[in-house]
Amino acid sequence: MVARGEEATAPARMDANVTDADGRYFLPLPPGPAEVTISAHRQQPVTLSVVVPEGEPLVRNLVLEPADA
């Protein structure tokens, strides 16, 4: 999950998605390997390397750390 109203992106596809009020997001990706970057204002971004399975969701929950001042 990411902070409310923040973005989850997949850089290679340049897709973006804003979270809902509970911090949930849905980012449709084709099956196969992908890099997904989660970022939020004043937080350190996190990039995940994932393999998206065919025909089933891939769930990743994360906590972003505050950015250095």
In this prediction, residue 11 carries a pLDDT of 47
Starting at the edge strand found earlier in the chain, the sheet holding 7-10 runs 15-18, 7-10, 32-39, 46-52
In this prediction, residue 8 carries a pLDDT of 57
Sign of torsion over alpha carbons 38, 47, 62, 65? negative
List the one residue out of 35, 36, 45, 34 whose CA is nearest residue 3.
Answer: 45
In this prediction, residue 69 carries a pLDDT of 62
Neighbours of 25 (CB within 10 A): 16
- pLDDT 10s per residue in the chain (69 long)? 444 555 555 544 456 777 888 888 888 888 999 988 888 889 999 999 999 999 998 888 888 899 986
